[in-house]
């Protein structure tokens, strides 16, 4: 049990860093003076590299000894965390996140295999549930933890928090796990398969991130999707021919494993999407602090915390099919609620948040147990590595789809505000030079965080009629949200 608990710490760290950055994005964006499109690659590089390297690095762990490689992964994760925390530019942050992701790609499959093999066969399902629930809880509480740390310690705190946990896991690893005379598995690395999976994941992610900006039918986007399809076909062909494939395709002959993988991706997209999108919406659109945004999405995390252990107990009574179906229905109802809610009435969002958290919490237990099945030895390692890859694919897709959609919608809204203000200023009975000056000042102010203060000072100093305020803010608000206080405030923020 001590070894199993050590592995839960490691898995918690790996999965926490897939979502802990989400709520800190506005603070990091301000601190590093970058834009959201560039910054989201600090999220994407973690999930893409995690997904691409989990299986080959899991194979390396089998070849050289899981315990030794696991320890090396912890050290690499620590270096990545320190680099990210001390970064002065977004490029250094992305490098730090890349180091973290490679460390996580080593630690995650090794932790799953070491943890499951540390208990007797009759307690295996319990071990699988504990490890699976840990994954779900880390992903669920990531934004909440990120909000608390960002509020009280600054955004760098979301990376520094990893340091004591990594050190604790490393100390327990040295104390509990034998480093010599480990059982090893002789197998070749599938370098071609690894390169192809990196290519297909990168092509798909970049296409989804840039589709709205470049146009869905543009040559660049169509080329990226074509590259994704070609890489996918070549990858499947390569894996079917390789003697030691990166992904053992015959795993998908087991219905329980295939179903678990599909549900892992789908539930990951639906849950992580909300945890990525709503913190940015609450902070950037509605003007809440990171702490307030963290608390506002906490109902989903609490439901995952409460329901994920219960789902393990219900699994024996209801069966996996019924539980997963119930979870998907609840996730769907949550999204229906989000689509019709008034974003300024919190209780409406809270109900949707609870439904989504409940659905995801119910699903975690069954899909984790199903993914392990009755596999043993190398097949068990392969199954957990593949499941980990598809979990990261779900996260990549969620970040790409939801963050790019938010970024594109904001850019469109800002363009509409600017266009409306420009059209109205042209109607003013002032000389053209004055109109141009008004627009230049308005555009400059629109790019500031405290636009309202600057605008009022400018109006007072210039002693120009208050209609300019109506043109710049109230008119845009009426066409974007409405003329309510919150609507005007939303326009001011952008």
pLDDT range class, residue 273, cuts 50, 70, 90: confident
Name the more confident of 157 and 476.
Answer: 157
| Torsion angle, alpha carbons of 49, 52, 57, 58, to 10 | 120
Model pLDDT, residue 424: 67
Whole-number Å distance between alpha carbons of 256 and 34: 44
* Residue linked to tokens 């490029």: 91
Close Cβ partners of 23 (under 8 Å, ≥ 6 residues apart): 143, 144, 146, 147, 150, 279, 280, 283, 290, 293, 294, 297
Q: Are 48 and 102 in contact (CB under 8 A)?
A: no
Q: What digits encode the pLDDT tens for the residues 379-408?
A: 776 777 677 777 777 776 776 677 667 666
452 pLDDT higher than 60: no
Question: What is the arithmetic mean of pLDDT over 261-271?
Answer: 87
241 pLDDT higher than 80: yes
Model pLDDT, residue 418: 65
* Residue linked to tokens 């395709």: 249
Model pLDDT, residue 421: 65
79 pLDDT higher than 70: yes
C-alpha atoms less than 13 angstroms from C-alpha of 7 in its C-beta half-sphere: 28
The chain-wide mean pLDDT, for the chain, equals 77
Q: Which of 48, 57, 49, 47 is nearest to 17 (CA)?
A: 47
Model pLDDT, residue 434: 62
Q: Are 323 and 362 in contact (CB under 8 A)?
A: yes
CA dist 122 → 6, 127, 249, 257, 466 (Å): 20, 10, 28, 20, 76
Sign (positive or negative) of CA dihedral 157, 349, 46, 249: positive
- Structural element, H or E, at residue 70: helix 66-85
Question: What is the arithmetic mean of pLDDT over 104-109?
Answer: 87
Question: What is the arithmetic mean of pLDDT over 411-428?
Answer: 67
Whole-number Å distance between alpha carbons of 105 and 268: 18
Model pLDDT, residue 84: 93
Whole-number Å distance between alpha carbons of 393 and 397: 6
Q: What digits encode the pLDDT tens for the residues 32-64?
A: 888 777 787 887 788 777 777 777 787 788 778
pLDDT range class, residue 441, cuts 50, 70, 90: low
Q: Quote the longest CA-to-CA distance of the chain.
A: 87
Close Cβ partners of 90 (under 8 Å, ≥ 6 residues apart): 32, 34, 38, 39, 42
Model pLDDT, residue 313: 72
The share of the chain scoring above pLDDT 90, in percent, equals 16
Question: What is the arithmetic mean of pLDDT over 228-233?
Answer: 92
Model pLDDT, residue 212: 66
pTM recorded for the entire structure? 0.69
Q: Between helices 320-340 and 255-280, what is the axis angle to 10°?
A: 20
Q: Which of 25, 483, 484 is nearest to 284 (CA)?
A: 25
Lowest mean pLDDT among 31-35, 80-84, 212-216, 481-485: 481-485
Question: What is the arithmetic mean of pLDDT over 317-335?
Answer: 87
322 pLDDT higher than 80: yes
Close Cβ partners of 320 (under 8 Å, ≥ 6 residues apart): 256, 366, 367, 369, 370
Q: What digits encode the pLDDT tens for the residues 185-224?
A: 666 777 888 788 778 877 877 777 677 667 778 898 899 9
Tokens at residue 388, please? Answer: 């980990």
Model pLDDT, residue 422: 66
Q: Is 374 strand, coil or helix? A: coil
Identify the burial level of 236 via C-beta atoms within 10 angstroms of its C-beta, where 0-12 means exposed, 13-18 middle and 19 or more buried: middle
Lowest mean pLDDT among 26-30, 111-115, 358-362, 373-377: 373-377
Close Cβ partners of 134 (under 8 Å, ≥ 6 residues apart): 8, 11, 12, 15
475 pLDDT higher than 70: no
Tokens at residue 4, please? Answer: 């199993």
Model pLDDT, residue 267: 87
pLDDT range class, residue 142, cuts 50, 70, 90: confident
pLDDT range class, residue 156, cuts 50, 70, 90: very high
Close Cβ partners of 218 (under 8 Å, ≥ 6 residues apart): none
Close Cβ partners of 106 (under 8 Å, ≥ 6 residues apart): 53, 57, 58, 60, 61, 69, 70, 72, 73, 76
């Amino acid at each position: 049990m001590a070894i199993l608990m050590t592995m839960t710490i490691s898995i918690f760290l790996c999965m926490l860093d897939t979502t802990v950055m989400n709520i800190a994005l506005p603070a990091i964006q301000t601190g590093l003076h970058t834009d959201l499109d560039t910054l989201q690659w600090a999220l994407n590089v973690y999930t893409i590299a995690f997904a691409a390297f989990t299986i080959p690095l899991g194979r390396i762990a089998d070849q050289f000894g899981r315990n030794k490689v696991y320890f090396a992964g912890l050290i690499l994760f620590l270096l990545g965390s320190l680099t990210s925390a001390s970064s002065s530019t977004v490029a250094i942050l992305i490098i730090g996140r890349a180091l973290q992701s490679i460390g996580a790609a080593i630690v995650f499959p090794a932790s799953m295999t070491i943890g499951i093999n540390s208990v007797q066969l009759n307690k295996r399902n319990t071990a699988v549930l504990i490890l699976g629930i840990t994954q779900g809880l880390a992903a669920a509480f990531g934004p909440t933890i990120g909000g608390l740390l960002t509020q009280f310690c600054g955004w760098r705190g979301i990376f520094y928090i990893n340091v004591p946990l990594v050190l604790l896991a490393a100390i327990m690893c040295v104390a509990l796990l034998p480093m010599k005379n480990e059982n090893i598995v002789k197998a070749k690395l599938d370098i071609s398969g690894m390169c192809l999976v990196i290519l297909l994941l990168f092509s798909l992610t970049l296409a989804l991130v840039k589709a709205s900006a470049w146009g869905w039918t543009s040559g660049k986007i169509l080329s990226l999707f074509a590259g994704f399809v070609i890489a996918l076909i070549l990858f499947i062909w390569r894996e079917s021919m390789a003697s030691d494939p990166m992904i053992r395709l015959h795993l998908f002959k087991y219905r329980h494993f295939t179903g678990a993988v599909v549900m892992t991706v789908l539930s990951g997209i639906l849950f992580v999407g909300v945890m990525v999108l709503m913190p940015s919406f609450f902070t950037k659109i509605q003007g809440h602090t990171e702490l307030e945004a963290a608390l506002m999405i906490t109902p989903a995390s609490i439901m995952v915390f409460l329901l994920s252990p219960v789902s393990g107990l219900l699994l024996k009574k209801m069966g996996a099919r019924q539980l997963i179906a119930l979870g998907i229905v609840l996730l769907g109802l949550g999204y229906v609620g989000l689509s019709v809610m008034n974003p300024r009435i919190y209780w409406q969002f809270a109900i949707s948040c609870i439904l989504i958290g409940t659905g995801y919490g119910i699903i975690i237990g069954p899909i984790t147990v199903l993914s392990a099945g009755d596999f043993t030895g190398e097949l068990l390692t392969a199954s957990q590595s593949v499941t980990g890859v598809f979990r990261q694919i779900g996260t990549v897709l969620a970040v790409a789809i939801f963050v790019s959609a938010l970024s594109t919608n904001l850019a469109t809204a800002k363009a509409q505000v600017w266009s409306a203000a420009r059209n109205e200023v042209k109607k003013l009975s002032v000389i053209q030079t004055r109109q141009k000056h008004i627009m230049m000042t308005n555009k400059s102010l629109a790019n500031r965080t405290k636009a309202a203060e600057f605008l009022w000072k400018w109006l007072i100093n210039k002693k120009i009629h208050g209609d300019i305020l109506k043109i710049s803010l109230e008119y845009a608000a009426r066409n974007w949200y409405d003329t309510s206080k919150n609507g005007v405030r939303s326009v001011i923020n952008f």
